[in-house]
Amino acid sequence: MSTQQEADAAVGIHADLGWALTTVLRAYGRAADCAVADLPGGSRGFRLLSATAHDCPRSQLALAQHVGLDRTVVTYLVDDFVAAALVTRQADPVDRRTWRVVVTDIGRCRLEQLEARLRRVEDEVLRPLGRQDSAQLRALLRRVAVSTAGGEPVATSCGDVTRLSGPGPA
Amino acid sequence: MSTQQEADAAVGIHADLGWALTTVLRAYGRAADCAVADLPGGSRGFRLLSATAHDCPRSQLALAQHVGLDRTVVTYLVDDFVAAALVTRQADPVDRRTWRVVVTDIGRCRLEQLEARLRRVEDEVLRPLGRQDSAQLRALLRRVAVSTAGGEPVATSCGDVTRLSGPGPA
DNA sequence: TATTGTTATACTCTATAACTATA
DNA sequence: TATAGTTATAGAGTATAACAATA
């Protein structure tokens, strides 16, 4: 990682490596957070809505485990989603303890809108590279991402960095 | 951006672009947060300590503006840093309203430790690429970072994504 | 007895504004 | 009157645990 001063200097020197990673990360992360800010729960809400929309209807617990959220959080988020008419809770005929969370047309529409926004954020972030280098960067990132998500979890100095199970801004 | 299901599928397909960016971002962001978690203020604390260590002593307000934090936050963080003996507050002879924040040896040592950890996180994240592709990715990221930090701010769907003035994990 | 979902509680961050002391 | 720093208050977000209904 770099220092603040190095970062400032880097505009002239461009020497530090970690600084680049961090800067891009933060730029994208912020913009992505921002893009989904008007959805209840922000980026976590986006992950949940995504999972809800693209999987066949599941219980809240299943959703929670799938996107790595606590049960209680999912309750709150689904409450908000229902209030915003993005999803509905439908009784599960076989297990009356659980709800099946189902996306509405409004929810699907909203999700597409958010996905479009996030695509735009990406393009914006990667704009400085040309078309070709942009593709190159994406390819390299994809390789990292695949092994990060599918292979070994990223080992770090503390234990809670688990294997990432999915996408989500920031 | 991608969907959860696509993300899962991507382990086989590797098709989605935004998913890669997001996954790497999150993996690194989490690990970096984690690496500095034991510092008061986490990533923000790191940024502040960095700035304090590598600049000549400055007032809290100057530091706040430099790293993009609120004055009050800096007060809290410096309090914590002082308690942890990472910095000292020294009276400014020319303006008795202000403090000069000065890093201690302990603080400098701690900072180096954190920087080492963050370097390790980077290496870990980029390990899947070989040495060469890793360098390639870093070069591309650096180009993006330079224009992000030095050039135009990243345009997004909302207004608060400002020009990034420095580094900092996550 | 275990599990799904809900509710209640508390805790951490952060942001805002009021306050003091100096300039 | 304006500025540097501090303190107080409140709010959002999150985590934990207790609870009700069902299996």
Rounded Cα distance between B77 and B45, Å, is 7
For residue A131, the tally of other CB atoms under 10 A from its CB is 9
CA A151 → C1' D14, Å? 29
Exposed, middle or buried, A151 (CB in 10 Å: 0-12/13-18/19+)? exposed
**Which value, in Å, is the radius of gyration of the alpha carbons in chain B?**
19
Banded model confidence at residue B70, pLDDT cuts 50, 70, 90: very high
Q: Which residues contact B168 (CB under 8 A, 6 or more apart)?
A: A22, A26, B43, B44, B46, B47, B50, B67
Closest alpha carbon within chain B to A38: B158
Strand, coil or helix: B25: helix
- Maximum distance among all alpha carbons in chain B? 65
Rounded Cα distance between A31 and A170, Å, is 9
Task: Extract the tokens encoding B96.
Answer: 């008795």
Q: Which residues touch strand C (CB under 7 A)?
A: A 59-62, 64, 71-72, 74-76, 78-79, 89, 95, 97-99; B 41-42, 44, 70, 72-73, 76, 95-97
Q: Is the Cβ–Cβ distance between A124 and A42 less than 8 Å?
A: no
DSSP 8-class letter at A87: E
Q: What percent of chain B has pLDDT over 90?
A: 45
- Phi and psi dihedrals of A88, rounded to 5? -125, 155
Mean local confidence (pLDDT), B90-106: 95
Exposed, middle or buried, B38 (CB in 10 Å: 0-12/13-18/19+)? middle
Rounded Cα distance between A41 and A31, Å, is 16
CA B72 → C1' D7, Å? 9
- Phi and psi dihedrals of B101, rounded to 5? -90, 120
Closest CA to A54 of A122, A107, A90: A107
8 Å CB contact of B168 and A26: yes
Whether the model clears a pTM of 0.95, i.e. scores above it, the answer is: no
Output the CA angle A147-A122-A87, nearest 5 degrees. 85
Q: Which of B22, B51, B119 is opposite residue A1, by nearest beta carbon?
A: B119
Query: Among B48-57, B70-79, B96-105, whose mean pLDDT is lowest?
Result: B48-57
Rounded to 10 degrees, the C-alpha dihedral B69/B74/B77/B79 comes to 180
Closest alpha carbon within chain A to B10: A146
Residue B20: predicted pLDDT: 77
Per residue of chain A (170 residues), what is the pLDDT tens digit? 333 333 333 333 334 666 777 778 778 888 888 889 889 999 899 999 999 998 788 999 999 998 889 999 999 999 999 999 999 999 999 999 999 999 999 999 999 999 999 889 888 888 999 889 998 998 898 888 888 766 444 444 443 333 333 333 43
Banded model confidence at residue B18, pLDDT cuts 50, 70, 90: low
CA distance B63 to chain A (A): 10
Task: Extract the tokens encoding B161.
Answer: 């994504």
Q: Which nucleotide is nearest to A78 (CA to C1')?
A: C5
Distances (CA, A) of A18 to A37, B79, B117: 28, 28, 11
Q: Which nucleotide is nearest to A65 (CA to C1')?
A: C4
Mean local confidence (pLDDT), B50-75: 91
CA B103 → C1' D6, Å? 21
Q: Which of A128-137, B27-36, B105-114 has the highest mean pLDDT?
A: B105-114
